[in-house]
Structures are given as structure tokens and as C-alpha cells.
Structure 1
Amino acid sequence: MADRREALVLIDLQHDYFADDELARCRDDLVAACNRLVRAAREAGVPVVEVRTVHETDGATWTRTMREDGQGMALRGSAGAAPVDGLDVDGATVVEKTRDSAFFDTDLRRVLDEHSVDHVVLCGVSTESCVAATAIEAFAHDLGVSMVRDATASVDRELHDDTLAQLADRYRQEVLDADEVCERWAAGASDA
């Protein structure tokens, strides 16, 4: 584990993603956990990548369901596409995406390669969609993955727990708490 080169990847921590009541309820705790991770990453020299979903206002990048509903979200330049209040992303590398996986049609892999990253620590929303899609595609890229239990969230707690359990079982991805990740980085386990 000591020879890992890790990166912290924050996914969709934007205003529009907290419109759901359950996500709104856990927003402050989620942001606090993510900020602890960001601080620990900076101190350990671990790269921080903030992945944002950003859609064009003309509908050109909308998903099929957005087009069917006639309504987009996380529209470029809107308040909904901005990072959620209180999130500390200063100095993070920003990667924009239009689909669930942070790897799909983005430069995330190039950013990770520039830092010789072989293991990603994922947090953000929603566990069962964008975070899971990114975790599964990271596996396809031969990257190790740590899912941060208390720095990810879903519209449904049971779905959150089930998704983490499936990723751990099917893809052998570790599931940790933010404090465990911070302690690992403080101990120098990231080989930063």
C-alpha cells in the first residue's frame, strides 16, 4: 500500500445535486467530510480533482432523460452548476463531465496520468450513480479505488450502503471512512 500514488476525486458536489430532500439533509456533514479529505490531501501532497457535471444551456450535452423531460440541470453559468456552499476546492484541478462516469469523454485519465496516479479516493454524490459509474470505470482503467463511506451520499441510505457493498464485493474496492483515509495520508501511505 505504501507505494500507491493516490488522488482525491470529488464528484458532483454542486448545488443542483442537493435539491433532493435526503441529500439536502446530509449536505453539511458530507461537505465537512470532503473538506477534511481535501485538507489532508493537500498536507500529504495528494492531488485533488474536482469533477463537475456541466451541461450546455442549448441542450447539446443533455442526457436522454433530460431531453425527454425537457429540462436540464447543472447548466453552464447557472448557480446550480456551482460547487455547493462551503466546499473547499481552491487549487483543485477541475474536470467537467456530461455523463455519470467522470472518465467518459473527459480528460480525467490524462490528469491522473500526469500525477502518476494508480489509486483514486472517491467521494461525492450520488453513490449509486455518478460515484459508482466512476468507480467501475476506474476498475476498467486498472486503477485501485477507495470509496469514502461518510463522504459519499445517495437519495436513499439503503441504496448507498448496498452500492458500497457491491463495489467492495464485485470490484474489490475498499470502503473507508474519511478519518481512515486522512490517517493513512498523514502516515505517508500515499507515497506523495
Structure 2
Amino acid sequence: MPRSDAVTGATASRDRAALLIIDMQNAFFEDETLAGQQERLVTACNDLIDAARSGRSPVILVRTEHQRDGSTWTRSMLDDGEGFIFHGSRQADFVADLHAGGLDVVTKTRDSAFFGTDLAARLRSAGVDHLVLAGVSTHSCVAQTGADAFAHDFRVSYARDALGSTNEQYADAMLEIVSMEYRQPVLDRGQARALFA
């Protein structure tokens, strides 16, 4: 029987980890709170990207993008009559200095990277069992992706140093919920890097 690692939740002889970098786009860093975290987050995400590449683990950049005609807008966008992060706009671009070149991209229109995308199929075809999540925002898109990953039977870990949020109280509460209810551990950067070794 494979050995289970109590710290990371990884099964040593079976799990293959992939790194998902979520919504590291200009639009989200227009928020003052996230803008103050941008440099830290880019550094931490780049460190994980480099570690995953060195370990030949898949890295997927997840981005949010909408059409100007309203066809992809959320209910709240439609209610407000205002869209966000339009295809081809500067808002939709990944932030400067993120090591995004040559990486696979999944484009989503809702909080979860799994909703309406082929992410689960891509991960299965790559033999991935375990996801390491990083990016923004912890209490919304990151946590929703983690919850849906649980529903798709992937193991999940959160790279705390590479997570950002507009509301730290919400972020801490959400990480406590997913770590307890879904057994999805919150790791420091060293622990996260070790999953790609």
C-alpha cells in the first residue's frame, strides 16, 4: 500500500502533482489591497513555477475572461449591466514579470477553473492526481477551484505564500474550512515545492 504523507496529503508512490496559478491578471490587481501584494505574489508564484518546471510537473495558468456581448457574464454582471475582464484587453493580460511564457492556459468565466472548461480532462490525460493551487483570490476563485477539484477526486494543497486575497479574514476562514472539511492542506512554500521534486 502506498505511503501517505500526513503533511502534504500526497501519496508518495502514486500522486503526480500539477501547479495551477489562478487569475494572476492585471484586472484583479487594480484592487488596492491586492496591488499591495502583487510583488510578493509574483515572486512566490514564479518560485513555484520554476520548481514545477524543474520537476517536470505540469503548470497551468488559469485566467478569467469575458466577451463584451454579455454572453459569458455572471448573473451579478448582468444585474449590474457591467462586464469585466474582456477578451483582448489589458485587464485580461497576466501581470508583468510572471513566468507565463510557454505555459498551458485554461480560460474560465466563473470562479471555478473546472466550470465550463476541459481542465479535468487535461489533468487526467497528464496523469495528475494532486493539485497545488496558487494565485487570487483565496476566498473566491482559489477556494472554489479547490472545492470542485475535490468533487472531481483530485487531491489539493494550497501554497499559502503564493495566495492573495482582498479580505484576509475571509481567506483565513475559507482555508480553515477546506483544510478541515476536504482534507486539503495549506502548505508553506518549501512543502509545496517538495511536491514537484
TM-score class, shorter-chain normalisation, is: over 0.9
2:19 aligned with 1:44: no
| 1:145 match: secondary structure | strand
Once the two structures are superposed, residues 127-152 of structure 1 have per-residue CA deviations (whole angstroms, 9 ceiling, x without a partner) of 11111110000000110000111111
| Aligned residue number for residue 166 of structure 1 | 177
Rounded to whole Å, the distance in 1 between the matches of 2:53 and 2:182 is 28
* Structure 2 residue 32 is the aligned partner of structure 1 residue 21: yes
Letter in 1 for 2:164: A
Could you tell me which runs of 5 or more consecutive residues in structure 1 were left unpaired when the two chains were aligned. Answer: none
| SS of alignment partner, residue 81 of structure 1 | coil
TM-score by length of 1: 0.94
> Please, which moves more after superposition, 61-70 or 27-36?
61-70
Cα distance, 1:134–1:37 mapped onto 2, change above 3 Å: same
Counterpart CA distance in 1 for 2:21 and 2:122 is 14
User: How far apart are residue 27 of structure 1 and its match?
Assistant: 0.8
Q: Distance in 2 between matches of 1:39 and 1:100?
A: 26
> More helix by proportion, 1 or 2?
1
**Matched position secondary structure for 2:84:** coil
Distance 1:94 1:127, change over 3 A: same
For the pair 1:98 / 2:135, whether they are aligned, the reply is no
Q: Is residue 129 from structure 1 mapped to residue 152 from structure 2 by the alignment?
A: no
Aligned pair count reads: 186
Runs of 4+ in 1 over 4 A off after TM superposition: none
Is the 8 Å Cα contact of residues 26 and 91 (structure 2) preserved in structure 1?
Answer: yes
What SS does the corresponding residue of 2:106 show, helix, strand or coil?
strand
Deviations 1:6-28 (A, max 9, x none): 10001111011111111111011
**Equivalent residue for 1:143?**
154
Match of 2:3 in 1: none
| 1:118 paired to 2:111 | no
